[in-house]
Homo-oligomer: A and B are copies of this chain.
Amino acid sequence: MPENIKKLTPRRRPKQGRSRDTVEAILTASQQILLRNGLKGFNTNVVAKRAGVSVGSLYQFFPGKEAILAALVRDMRRDMLADLIAAQQASNAGDLADVIGAMIDASLKHHLRAPELTATLEQAEAQLPMDAETQALKSNMFQLVLGVLQRHAIEDPETVTQDVIAMCHGMVDAAISAGERDFDEISSRLRRATINYISATN
């Protein structure tokens, strides 16, 4: 799929000057549109207009609308991975529950920062083909959790990793879509679910 790659990779990623601002404006506008209109109402014309930019400019930086979504997802995953790594390192000394808990909190913080936008982006992520970097980022997250479980001698760590990530994903989505916003409350449930699941393995 060489086409797909071209469609999801930004055309240019300028690090400075006018271009930088344009890209920033497009991404910000995109988030706003996504928030207000949802995935269905997300299209290049609206984004360009809200960004105060011409369609042409938009296409100068993004090969298509999917590329914008891909960029937003990528950024989200980048931030998340960075925070997960930080959380894991900060809590490295603790026992398994501490490390897992710290990582859960890091991830949860992301969701609660912009719950609706995150939800929409995860929707987008689910129906888009994933670009290479995002794939790598997700793989890294998986490896991060996997490493923790391995270091604590958990049996069949790959499966447990998948399940732990999945159950958190499910619970967080449900909590947020139910309108919950209490960090500690959700965190404690996630910890309970994961720790008990992991413990029950051995």
Chain A positions within 8 Å of B, measured between CB atoms, are 38-40, 123, 126-127, 159, 162-163, 165-171, 173-175, 178, 189, 192-193, 196-197, 199-201
By a CB distance below 8 angstroms, the chain B residues around A40 are 127
Contact flag A126-B123 (CB < 8 Å), given A165-B174, A178-B162: yes
- Known pairs A123-B123, A167-B171, A167-B193. 20 more at Cβ < 8 A? A39-B127, A123-B127, A159-B189, A162-B175, A162-B178, A163-B174, A163-B175, A163-B189, A163-B193, A165-B174, A166-B173, A167-B170, A169-B170, A169-B174, A170-B173, A192-B197, A192-B201, A193-B193, A193-B197, A196-B197
State the copy count for this chain.
Answer: 4
Give A199 to B200 CA distance when docked, in angstroms: 12
By a CB distance below 8 angstroms, the chain B residues around A175 are 162-163, 166
By a CB distance below 8 angstroms, the chain B residues around A162 are 174-175, 178
> Cβ of A171 and Cβ of B170 under 8 Å apart?
yes
A-B contact pairs, 8 of them (CB 8 A): A159-B189, A163-B189, A163-B193, A169-B170, A170-B173, A192-B197, A192-B201, A193-B197
By a CB distance below 8 angstroms, the chain B residues around A197 are 192-193, 196-197
Query: A160 → chain B, closest Cβ, in Å?
Result: 9
Give A196 to B195 CA distance when docked, in angstroms: 9
Query: A166 → chain B, closest Cβ, in Å?
Result: 3
Give A169 to B173 CA distance when docked, in angstroms: 10
